[in-house]
Amino acid sequence: MRQPLVAGNWKMYGSRAENAALARSLLDLVRPESGTEVLVCPPFVYLWDVGRLLKDTDVALGAQSVCAEPLGAFTGEVSAAMLKDVGCRYVLVGHSERRQLYGEGDALVARKFVAAQSQGLVPVLCVGETLEEREGERTAQVVARQLDAVLAVSGTGALAKAVIAYEPVWAIGTGRTASPEQAQDVHAMIRGKVAALDATIAASVRILYGGSVKASNARELFAMPDIDGGLVGGASLKADEFARICAAAD
Ligand code: PGA
């Protein structure tokens, strides 16, 4: 049995005051007895603050990106060891906004994945196709390429301590969600690909869906056999909405 995971990606939103209010409301609303793991990923500068509020609670802390290098003269970057030091358990790698807006290619994403694991952080590897790639029927090929780039560097075994998030780029922040069947198709493809390498890991690795997940569509998405939760952007900034998404994963 895979424990569902619902992750909130706060992106570049919030302030100290807003984050504190959001975190406190989440702690009120998220039911600790639920079987769903809950994670929030604030911007770097707020990790420590939010982490202190979440300490010893059932809501885990993660970052939105990480440097591929362990330490050194890399102005503006944040290392995996630093993320660990401020209490992160998870880190997103290869989010499509990083890939598209900041030129992060498959090889760099793979190095970030390895850097995260080297410090015991659980990478949430984001993969997904653009609208053009979907319309060109290249979804499977693109997602396979993004996964292969990581597997080539980390080895299949590394997936035992990772999470995969399928996020079709055309569904992120657009209000246009993949249908449960569209998402399930890709999730099954991803799990099948992992199963061809290691059936045990394929059965246990969590594959999240992301892209305009809301309380109103979460339940039908999470009901799909290979969808193990969600990576939520916009809707994670509203505590009640996010809590309802978490409840939908139970
Ligand atoms: P969205 O973002 O839920 O606002 O579409 C998802 C994401 O970018 O992870």
> Residue-wise over 48-83: b if at least 16 C-beta within 10 A, else e?
eebbebbeeeebbbbbbbbbbeeeeeeeeebbbbbb
pLDDT at 33: 78
- Cβ atoms 50, 17 nearer than 8 A: no
CATH superfamily of 5-249: Aldolase class I (3.20.20.70)
Report the pocket of ligand 1 as residue ranges, CB < 6 Å: 9, 167, 172-173, 210-213, 231-235
Show the low-confidence residues of the chain (pLDDT under 50): none
What residue owns the CA closest to ligand 1's atom 1? 233
Report the alpha-carbon distance of residue 46 to residue 64 in Å, rounded. Answer: 11
| 15-29 residue pLDDT tens | 999 999 999 999 999
pLDDT at 163: 98
What residue owns the CA closest to ligand 1's atom 9? 233
| 145-174 residue pLDDT tens | 999 999 999 999 999 999 999 999 999 999
Of 177, 175, 156, 174, residue with least CA distance to 166: 177
pLDDT at 32: 73
Task: Quote the ligand 1 centre to 65 CA distance (angstroms).
Answer: 15
Report the alpha-carbon distance of residue 87 to residue 109 in Å, rounded. Answer: 22
Report the alpha-carbon distance of residue 26 to residue 59 in Å, rounded. Answer: 8
pLDDT at 34: 85
Measured from the Cα of 96, ligand 1's closest atom is: 8
Task: Quote the ligand 1 centre to 72 CA distance (angstroms).
Answer: 32
Q: What is the pTM of this model?
A: 0.97
